[in-house]
A = this chain, B = another copy of it.
Amino acid sequence: MQGKESQDKTTVIGLQCKVLDYGFIRVVDTMGNDFSIVQAARVSYGDGTKTVNEDKGLINYLMKHRHTSPFEMCEIKLHIKLPIFIARQWIRHRTANVNECSARYSILPEEYYIPEIENIAPQSAQNKQCRGGEISTKEAQSTQKLMEESSKQAYQNYKILLGGENETGIAREIARGVLPLNMYTEWYWKIDLHNLLHFIKLRIHPHAQYEIRVYAEKLAEIVKQWCPMAYGAFEEHVLHAHTFSRKQIEVLKKLLSGVEIQGEGLSKRELEEMRGVLK
């Protein structure tokens, strides 16, 4: 049993992905894998599931029906470097463990995030929270330049406040106040698979800010490699699934009244479920 777990383990530990200009995600350690999900589920269902002899089928079943606890039995620890304004969104996910580099103890290095030309855009007209539309390359370049200058100036002020090399100035915890939100920070982040998938779902969404979306995409790649069955089930039943409201279901029923629902590629169970909902 352990054999199975440890075997795959070597595949993701140590993996490192570059993100944005200075950022990264590095896999420090993992506990469990697809097999552990099955193992935990079988404890719950005991003799009752003797007939479910296919691991992949069981994992899909658990994901579809939101039996989340077996997915909590896998854990991953990551070392992540990310801009502070992204760290502030990230930390809102409370079911995780964090050790962050403290700017009360350490002097932060001069590393701040400057967006690439293609990621600079105006406020979206459609969506109150997003960027959207286009900006001329010239404007984008001057944006980059201003962000660069503004960040550099702030960092210089930070160094002056600290009092230069000999640190004859003020305390780090005060001086950092002038540092910009695009400064990079680092942390160790440990989370279980269920909560990680929830994070990915929310942050890989097109309305999530680009700068966190790229981290979510890397996390998705890591999970895909670490727990391929769980990730496949997540894509099928969560990421590329869609929830229709009660009113939308009514509309679907009307549109499909009289139409026989034939499900190419659907399992018998999924077909029956659709027929049940849309009848």
Would you list which residues of chain A between 21 and 52 have a CB under 8 Å from chain B? 29-32, 36, 39-41, 43-49
Alpha-carbon distance A14/B1, docked complex (angstroms) = 10
**Interface contact B29-A36, CB-CB below 8 Å:** yes
A4 to chain B, nearest CB (A): 11
Alpha-carbon distance A14/B181, docked complex (angstroms) = 32
Residues of chain B lying within 8 A (CB to CB) of residue A105: 44-49, 128-129
**A176 interface residue, CB < 8 Å from B?**
yes
**Count of chain A residues with Cβ under 8 Å from any Cβ of B?**
129
Alpha-carbon distance A129/B161, docked complex (angstroms) = 16
**Interface contact B104-A172, CB-CB below 8 Å:** no
| 7 residue pairs, one from A and one from B, having the closest CB atoms | A48-B105, A46-B106, A131-B171, A177-B182, A240-B246, A72-B97, A31-B31
Known: A41-B99, A73-B97. A181 touches B177 (CB 8 A): yes
| A-B contact sample (15 more), CB < 8 A, given A102-B129, A130-B171, A245-B270 | A2-B29, A36-B77, A40-B188, A48-B128, A69-B98, A104-B129, A105-B129, A122-B170, A123-B171, A146-B160, A177-B182, A237-B243, A241-B249, A242-B243, A251-B263
